Amino acid sequence: MHRQRLSNDLFESKMNKIQVKDKSFAISIPAAKIHEQVCRVAAEITRDFKDREPLFLPVLNGAFIFAADLLREVQIPCEVSFVKLASYQGTQTTGEIREVIGLAHDITGRDVIIVEDIIDSGLSMAHMIETLEKHNPASISVCSLLVKPDALRVKVPIHYCCLEIPNDFIVGYGLDYDGFGRNTKDIYTLC
């Protein structure tokens, strides 16, 4: 068992490049760096939402790993409920924004924290905020694992962000290329 674990670690440390379908990706944000930043943001949320019992709304599918790691570091009473909103196909934005689905929780009067994988143009987040505002929550905060500042096309409030990245296409740690590549511990950039 112990030998097995050692060889797996060795294997992972050599995963500087991965192939997802027809594209090659090179490691850009190692797991340790992600973990460090997730813990920092979780500590900020823990401090800011003490006694507020926030409702986390992770956006599926991309934010599922980030949300799982973030929520386990948040040290206050809170609830979590998942929503869905898709705007991407392949490596190009379609510009098409779909409806928010799966809002099962009554968010009226609640302090809501949207948990996103990445903010690129900002259009998805702007639409999400606009939709949630109609339900009269007490507050809406935005928490994104990644932000591409150079790609932003609309102004969106970003209260918590783990890392800012260049305007490149990335996969891993929940983010996909055509449905694949989500199940990695590190984040990779298109070569």
In terms of Cβ atoms closer than 10 Å to its own Cβ (0-12, 13-18, 19+), residue 14 is exposed
- The listed partner (Mg ion, ligand 5GP, none) that binds 131, CB under 5 to 8 Å by sort, is none
Please say which residue, 76 or 97, places its beta carbon nearer to ligand 5GP: 97
Residues 14-53 that bind ligand 5GP (CB under 6 A): none
Smallest separation, CB 62 to ligand 5GP (Å): 4
Please say which residue, 81 or 121, places its beta carbon nearer to ligand 5GP: 121
Tell me, yes or no, if 120 is annotated catalytic: yes
Q: Which residue has the tokens 């949300």?
A: 67
CA atoms of 34 and 145, how far apart (whole Å): 9
Please say which residue, 64 or 169, places its beta carbon nearer to ligand 5GP: 169
119 is a site residue for ligand 5GP (CB under 6 A): yes
How many beta carbons lie within 10 A of that of residue 26, not counting itself?
11
Smallest separation, CB 135 to ligand 5GP (Å): 21
CA atoms of 108 and 104, how far apart (whole Å): 12
CA atoms of 162 and 133, how far apart (whole Å): 24
| Residue closest to Mg ion when measured from CB atoms | 62
Catalytic residue among 9, 51, 69, 120: 120
Q: What does the binding site for ligand 5GP look like in residue numbers (CB under 6 A)?
A: 62, 87-88, 93, 116-125, 169-171, 175-177
Please give the positions annotated as active site.
120
